Amino acid sequence: MKAFPLLVFGALTLLSGCATTQTSQVNESAPVSNAIAENVEKANPIGTSTSEDVTDQAKQQETLPAATDPTETFIGTTPAYDNLVDRIRSGFAMPDMPRARIQPFIKRFSSNPDYLNRVFARGGPYLHHIVEEIEARGLPMELALLPIVESAYNPQATSHAKAAGLWQFIPSTGRIYELSQDWWMDERRDVIESTRAALDYLEKIYALHDNDWFLALASYNWGEGAVGRAIRRNKAAGRPADYLNLRMPRETRNYVPQLIALRDILESPQNFGLTLPYVANRPYFAVIDKNQSIDLKLAAELAELDPQDFQALNPHLRRPVIEISRTNRIVLPIENVDRFNTNLADYLTKGLPLVTWKPYTMKRGDSLKSIGARAGVSADDLAKANSLKNGKVNLLPGTVLLAPVAAQPSSNASLETTLASFKGARTIEREYVPAKTHVVRRNETWQSIAKKWRVRVADLKALNRSVSQLKEGLRLILRPQTSRTVITEANGRRIYKR
């Protein structure tokens, strides 16, 4: 995959030259010299504890070119680094940790150089922006390495505890820090917004723990309440209440040592026989403000990007339409911005629609297959667009989906208004609940079985009329198979009706 330079909020500012209302201000953001990673790797590829929850897997990454000797030029008194890794190294400020606590992780990371290369390749498009934000707040640059521990720099990573994104926010903490999570998008995966939220949260818990970064990081992993209780227990017992002496889960106990191990490796990679990848110290992507909705696939095409590359820079977008009332921006590699503006202007002169999807209420006789066939879309693609299990799911009339406009009758309603009022798919299905049974054991009677399951003997016999005598191994029906209607709302809430 080709390499793109990356840009983020807070770096340079450009103005797009397109005269349409679709393109406006362009904000530059973080850079990297490697291609957007094609695939995602488990956050815990070398047996560390934090990443064992991360479920997304990474594809093989190409090896990065070796870092050159750091080249420094000085502007006034501030060194400007050619290699972003050197810039990160210069900002390390957290205290050291006993060697015995970090040595196992140094060994694991340093014995897996390909893993470090893949992580930097995958995180490259985002890293400059994160460094800029950390530097602007005067925070220690070790925090730029935290997404390696959390998610292996994979914005699509999801843990078993439903933490998501580079910074692994659980839903509740994400909402506290104003990360929108709905049917349309999940800002926990938005690199820009999640970085802002993560640094806000880290600053808060750093102050909460009297400017102790190790306790702050423990709180980020385990929860500030849990760390607070551990501190109070130690103080009550007359024991030291610092990170190294608290009783914590294994994951949290190993969390900070992993980060400090990474810090020490980056600080002196030659000591571990490593050559770190080169990451260009310049913005990589641009943020383009827009004022109309647009199909995600069309936006990628206009930018001349593979949809997978487009999604890597916009991982928070969950639907085939980028709906303007939910977000007014898209993120592109800097070098693709002019192409996007030019292609968009040409596209609009043809009078073609920017959006080809809208809500549709299913009618009798409809199925995902029949709806998709009317628009040349597969049932599985239609299911994916609406986060359904597959294209074979049996949906009932009244189900509301996002479907291709070509599959629907024409309407005079404003498409933007219709999309803005659509909270998400609302599905109606018929669900079958299997029968509940009991296998008779030796010496059991109707009375003992009825008592065990808290049912009446008469009801138990009525369900098993063909049984004249109980025998060991006989299967009795406790509850017959039933069916019910299940309505699933856009927010995931399920309503059951008989």
Contact 174, 180 (CB under 8 A): no
Q: Both tokens of residue 419?
A: 């999309």
The two tokens of residue 45 are 């590829």
Q: Which residues contact 192 (CB under 8 A, 6 or more apart)?
A: 8, 9, 29, 129, 287, 331
pLDDT tens across 329-377, in order? 999 999 999 999 999 999 999 999 999 999 999 999 999 999 999 999 9
pLDDT single digits (tens) 444-457: 999 999 999 999 99
pLDDT at 45: 34
> Residue 261: which of 148, 410, 338 has the closest Cα?
148
User: Per residue in 130-165, pLDDT tens?
Assistant: 999 999 999 999 999 999 999 999 999 999 999 999
Decide if pLDDT at 110 tops 80. yes
Residue 61 has pLDDT above 70, yes or no: no
Burial (CB count <10 Å: 0-12, 13-18, 19+), residue 397: exposed
Give the per-residue pLDDT at 463: 96
Q: What is the pTM of this model?
A: 0.80
Compute φ and ψ for 15, nearest 5 degrees: -115, 125
Contacts for 384-388: CB closer than 8 Å, 24+ residues apart: 385/319, 385/320, 385/357, 386/425, 386/427, 387/183, 387/318, 387/425, 388/425, 388/427
The per-residue pLDDT for 52 is 37
Gyration radius of the chain's alpha carbons: 28
Residues acting as catalytic residues: 150
Could you give the percent of the chain with pLDDT greater than 90? Answer: 82
Q: What pLDDT is attached to residue 79?
A: 62
Render pLDDT for 460-494 as a digit per residue (tens, 0 to 9): 999 999 999 999 999 999 999 999 999 999 999 99
3-state SS class at 358: strand
In three-state secondary structure terms, 24 is coil
Confidence of residue 67 (pLDDT cuts 50, 70, 90): very low
Single out the residue of 130, 373, 160, 155 nearest to residue 251, CA to CA. 160
Give the C-alpha separation, 109 to 112, whole Å.
5
Environment class of 450 (CB within 10 Å of its CB; exposed 0-12, middle 13-18, buried 19+):
middle
Nearest Cα neighbor of 11 from 279, 284, 360, 206 is: 284
Task: State how far the alpha carbon of 28 is from the alpha carbons of 14, 20, 25, 37, 262, in Å.
Answer: 7, 20, 10, 20, 28
Structure tokens at 55: 């479920």
Mean pLDDT of the chain: 86
pLDDT in tens, 8-45: 322 323 322 232 333 334 444 433 333 333 333 433 33
Mean pLDDT across 250-264: 97
pLDDT of residue 166: 98
In the chain the first and final C-alpha atoms are separated, in Å, by 52
Compute the distance between CA of residue 116 and CA of residue 427 in angstroms, rounded to an integer: 43
How many Å apart are CA 29 and CA 8, to the nearest integer? 2
| Short-list 221, 105, 204, CA closest to 161 | 221
Compute the distance between CA of residue 366 and CA of residue 403 in angstroms, rounded to an integer: 12
DSSP H helices, 112-268, are 113-137, 146-151, 171-176, 191-208, 213-222, 224-236, 250-267
Q: Residue 126 has what DSSP assignment? A: H
Strand partners, 474: none
Quick count: other Cβ atoms within 10 Å of Cβ 493?
Answer: 8
- Dihedral sign computed on CA atoms, order 427, 424, 341, 128: negative
